[in-house]
Amino acid sequence: MTVYAILFYILAGLILITTGLAITRRNMVHTVIYLVFSFFGSAMLFYLLGAPLLAALEVIIYAGAIMILFLFIIIMMREESPETRLFVPRQWLPAAAIGLLYLALGVLLILSADPTTGEPMKLAQATPAAFGEYLFNAHWLTIEIASLLLLVALIGALHLGREGKGGDARKTEETS
């Protein structure tokens, strides 16, 4: 078994563990943290498979932008909980252990060399321009459908947000 195969199986196991922890947590902030760990693992897996562009996009778009958005939504909608301490030490232990394991795997992944040639890992086979050309030539309909669904979701969220504000304003006018 090669170093790449071992790294692949360790990363796959960590992604499964962190995703499993994310869907079993009751605290939504912890869920977001475990999902961020899962996205970092997916990015490392993309890098291991020779796609550094997808790894960077995974970190920038999913772990960065989308999870921060989820975190803001959770914080805005947060109900008061009877818990007085924000983070109990037993809750930090799994997150810290998984984070350190990801850090060690990331360093090992970047510094690892091919055992047969002794050279560092090769870069992606396709350039970003070639990947974009393939994506928009072969899968243009899928991309358009996804963008349309995102637009509908955005309009729906705006409508629901404005309806809630308008409804509250009407209720206060009726009672006064």
**Cα angle for residues 150, 151, 152 (degrees, 5° grid):** 90
**22-26, 116-120, 167-171, range with greatest mean pLDDT:** 22-26
Architecture of domain 3-126: Up-down Bundle (1.20)
- Predicted pLDDT of residue 134: 82
113 - beta bridge partners?
120
Cβ-in-10-Å burial (0-12, 13-18, 19+) of 8 comes to middle
What are the pLDDT digits (tens) for 16-67? 999 988 888 878 888 888 888 999 999 988 888 878 888 888 888 888 888 8
Helix (H, G, I), strand (E, B) or coil at 117: coil
Confidence band, pLDDT 50/70/90 cuts, at residue 15: very high
What own/partner pairs with CB < 8 Å and gap ≥ 24 does 5-8 have? Answer: 7/48, 7/105, 7/108, 7/109, 7/112, 8/45, 8/48
Whole-angstrom distance between the N-terminal and C-terminal Cα of the chain?
A: 75
Out of 43-47, 114-118, 141-145, pick the least confident: 114-118
